[in-house]
Structure 1
């Protein structure tokens, strides 16, 4: 079973508003076995909307439309739907009563004729009651395709999807089961990962497929399957997942839908009753920010020294000036000294340090832009690694933060 999402609004096409509605709808449909065939964004233009509706009806079983249902002149969705279905607008008394009650409750102004127009719906439509706003949703069945029109306001759309649209689709359509299982890997690139699991991937059953979803510092592996028989599909995915874990289990830190890496690190530190400090230079406290963004961080995180300037590394972290002069402020030796000294300063079990050149200029070091060193201090050892991460500042910082957490995660597990 397939669906298409059509979002209406000039604001989406000029980048003024980010389309979060489609992402939400896609996830909710996937949960009930409905595959999204296409997502289309169109202007507030009648002909453009009509063309999108006509093309979608050829492809899918359900067309979900968001946007253009407000009371102003640029909200033309209802009138365009009337033309498409050769229908007329009629007043729905229940919707009108709801709109009046909302105005009475939340507005000092009397309801206007423009606002009363929110109660106008297509005569062929089944009204989907929107308790979160004034614009109702509409469910319209036309030959072999169902069209669902919803407001574009995200919290109103979400209510209608979860409370009205999804239950109706479940009742009225036979759907296959779709299951995804996503593993999050760290410390390896997409191509290297593909080489490691290539033989396993080639032998996947025909109803399963694998997708690689790379991001800064990690690659997600999404194993997907579709079947009429849920239990059989679950068993197949379980078997193949176990095979994958045997191959790259040491590179997987969790599954999507579970906690992010910083939360996993925090949980491990808490479970082992261990503590952490950070000494950050070019990352500017971002590691500390991520670790303290969740409640309860005081149990394991003692503090951070953001030693952005060289003199702070010397005067606060006690990095010997001799080391900096001999090896450069961006060096393995300085990263190790920073980690060791912040560990000692704040009396923690573990410590992370970062020093590097994120650009755009070289600053206090002759190191090339993108050269970074990440130091790790544990209860038994201190080490630092070098990374060359390219020339885009934000990318360098974000990848370094992820890499630091990956290194720390591995050391906590082995401690």
Structure 2
């Protein structure tokens, strides 16, 4: 029976039970954390072989490059070739960098701001204003970048098949709209995968700004929770065929595949975009860590080697996600006070509670020793207009801690709901 259909007596009795459950929860003196999508230690252990690679005396790439020396801004073909196959792009369309694709995204935006892109009439800093499209719920670190530069961030809904294309097509009629964020596969935090129809629509749509860019952050391209890997859409090909070859800045990395902070990042785009990137990146530095790139190439071997590793990650992660979904259904499903996504990959579950109660749920959880990502974190400026969304990150704790944390979260959701209903 929906909690919203309880009469006054039923609601009062139920509220008393929930408050008693919450008192019991606080007495447990928990210290649990579901805030960030970090790999668990068992996942990091999978890549420990990297610590011995490429190995003493093994310092030449397939083309003979001595990886210990300077140079090669594009990165080693050995590892670029693996990711070119995984992403469905040509070798000349992809660069390999250092550990963080987020660093490259920041560079791309900041260089466009300071110097303009290869298609810009002027640097973005000289525009009267710069507007940026932000699918929501979305990735907080994306929004932090555009916030840092003072861009006007415009929210559009993330639907079941990707960002709201109709809304975006209207917004890009404004020449001050210069770009947008997208996590196209197992998006953060909803787990939605953008359909081919939406991907093509984004590639083909007309934009008033000639230098409009889509940051296609495919961070979870191979991060399945099952044995199946999602399709990877050829957005670079779609855009080129539509006469918009420079539209996409395509990023990914190994950060949640090998060792976080010690992996390899990748930037794929048109040759013109890569040349523009290189013109600035070559001033910033002489080249990436090619020793680490060679180590990764030797560790994986080929694209199937990456998929094999990711199936091992799935074996570790899937039970945690299953437990979260089981508890949400068992504790909340019958009362209709929340809804949640059921992702097939990625690192997050998006939980929507009764409007106006997300911040209260987070507060109650904190008082009970359960750390959740702040309400509103998945929206620009951390402002969820409905105060309903909470991002759950079950990857780091062991299953037993995930179970305890989620049981506590469910109690907090119910308590916030009965408070909202006046009980």
Same fold (TM over 0.5): no
Answer 1 or 2: higher relative contact order, Cα 8 Å, separation at least 6.
2
**Which structure has the highest strand share of the two?**
1
Q: Structure 2-normalised TM-score?
A: 0.27
Q: Structure 1-normalised TM-score?
A: 0.27
